[in-house]
């Protein structure tokens, strides 16, 4: 069931007749799912793509070869390219990309600990890029990130 923030965001999108899409890595489709559980979500939700492995990012989202090696799959640079490349092919008013570290491993470091999440949102002619560090287990980190996306969208619309 969607959180209060996601429900509020969906209701605002419905009221403003705005559509939304998602391209997800760390959240593995949960963000799209959460938005789909709100009443009348079919009026706003176009869909999404889960690109968890680097090969999906490179092959389907055309992230240039070497970019992930240079910056890591969980980075602001890759998140931006994910959303921009997905948005080119999808007809929606808002497009959201999310990457990050929800469990140990990957590109985890002292400067990028578990809980680091990158969000990049395209809304008409504006882009929002944010980095957050959430605390908790993997599910809690993802839920916090999804609520944060809803809050960021609400502020803009």
Q: What is the pLDDT along the chain (157 residues), one digit of tens a residue?
A: 889 999 999 999 999 999 999 999 999 999 999 999 999 999 999 999 999 999 999 999 999 989 999 999 999 999 999 999 999 999 999 999 999 999 998 788 888 999 999 999 999 889 999 999 999 999 999 999 999 999 999 999 9
Q: Which residues of 110-133 are buried (b: 16+ CB within 10 A; e: fewer)?
A: eebebbbbbbbbbbeeeebeeeee
- Main-chain phi, psi angles of 103, to 5 degrees: -140, 160
Nearest CA to 83 out of 67, 72, 94, 73 is that of 94
CATH of domain 4-156: 3.90.950.20
Residue 32 confidence (pLDDT): 97
DSSP 8-class letter at 77 = H
Residue 109 confidence (pLDDT): 85
Per the confidence metrics, is the pTM higher than 0.85?
A: yes
Q: How far is CA 6 from CA 45, 59, 114, 153, in A?
A: 12, 31, 24, 10
Rama region for 5: left / alpha / beta (φ>0; ψ in -120 to 50; rest)? alpha
Nearest CA to 48 out of 84, 70, 31, 23 is that of 23
Residue 73 confidence (pLDDT): 92
Do residues 121 and 153 touch, judged by C-beta distance below 8 A?
A: yes
Residue 124 confidence (pLDDT): 82
Beta-carbon contacts of residue 125 (< 8 Å; ≥ 6 apart): none
């Amino acid at each position: 069931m969607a959180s209060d923030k996601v429900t509020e965001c969906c209701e605002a999108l419905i009221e403003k007749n705005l559509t939304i899409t998602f391209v997800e890595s760390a959240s593995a489709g949960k963000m799209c799912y959460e938005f789909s559980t709100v009443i009348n979500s079919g009026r706003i939700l176009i869909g999404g793509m889960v690109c968890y492995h680097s090969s999906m990012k490179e092959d389907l989202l055309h992230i240039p070869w070497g970019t992930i090696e240079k910056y890591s799959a969980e980075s602001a640079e890759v998140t931006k390219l994910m959303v921009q490349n997905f948005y080119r092919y999808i007809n929606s008013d808002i497009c959201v990309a999310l990457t990050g570290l929800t469990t140990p491993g990957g590109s985890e470091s002292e400067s990028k600990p578990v809980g680091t999440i990158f969000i990049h949102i395209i809304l008409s002619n504006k882009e929002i890029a944010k980095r957050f560090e959430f605390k908790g287990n993997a599910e809690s980190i993802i839920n916090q990130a999804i609520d944060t996306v809803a809050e960021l969208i609400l502020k803009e619309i």
